[in-house]
Structure formats: structure tokens, C-alpha cells
Homo-oligomer: A and B are copies of this chain.
């Protein structure tokens, strides 16, 4: 298997956060990542999906789009919402910045995504939505036997 892809659409509901990261982990598992690498991906996906639900859609009705593309030992993950969008991406990505301190958000979501993935790119349009693109290359593939 050289390349493989999947696309998942879920309701923007908090009970789907764990489903979303489980699906991505199951898809990526074929690359035989270490438990740490798998946890990194799950955590980053959890952050991005949670943001789509609480910030993008303000915890109202909506759909979150998740796509994964495996190319050799690299996975490209995109998480998209058609929600309110981000006005100032630079500010949003600052550690500890949150627009929802009342919801006890830590403002660490983007920082976690940046730390746990090799790269992250954010594009957003006010009133149109937000697209997070993250990439990670797994080292462990070199140890594979089959």
C-alpha cells in the first residue's frame, strides 16, 4: 500500500470527539506507529475537532469534515468546519489565548497541535469556516516486517 485515503463527516456533537480520534487512529494504525506517535495524532485530532464544535459552530448544529491521506509513512490530516471562521489566526494560535475563558478553555489547543504534529497550517474565512491541515511522518515504519 503506497497511498490510501479516507474522508469522514460527523455531526458537530461533543460525543463524536472520541469517535473522530478513534477513526483517525484506526486509519493510521496500518503505518504501525509507536504508541506515542498514535497518541500524538489522537490528541491533535481531538483538539481540532473540539475547536470546530465549540468555536466553529458555537456548540450548535453543524458538520465536521475529517480527511486523511496516507502517502508512504506520512499522514496528512485535514479538519474542516463551515462555521464562524477565525478573525485573527496569529492571535488564535498564541499559547493560552482563548476567546472562551467562560467555558474553561485553556487556550492550548493550537499549541498542542503544533507540538504533536510535524506541521500545521490554518486557513479561515469569516462566516465561511476553518480548515486545519496537519502532517506527521512516522519513523517506526522502518521497523516494519511485512
List A residues at the B interface (Cβ < 8 Å): 1, 4-11, 13, 15-16, 19, 22-23, 26-27, 30
Contacts and interface: CB of A to CB of B under 8 A. Distances in A.
A7 B9 contact: yes
A5 B11 contact: yes
- Give the 8 A-B residue pairs with the shortest CB-CB distance, closest first: A7-B9, A6-B10, A22-B26, A8-B8, A23-B23, A4-B11, A1-B15, A5-B11
Contacts of A5: 10-11
Grouping DSSP codes into helix (H, G, I), strand (E, B) and loop, the A interface class, with mixed when no group exceeds half, is: mixed
Contacts of A15: 1, 4, 30
Nearest to A29: B19
Oligomeric state, in number of copies?
2
Contacts of A26: 19, 22-23, 26
A45 B114 CA distance: 36
Contacts of A23: 8, 23, 26
A6 B1 contact: no
Contacts of A30: 15, 19
7 contacts: A4-B11, A6-B8, A6-B11, A6-B16, A7-B8, A15-B30, A23-B26
A101 to B, nearest CB: 28
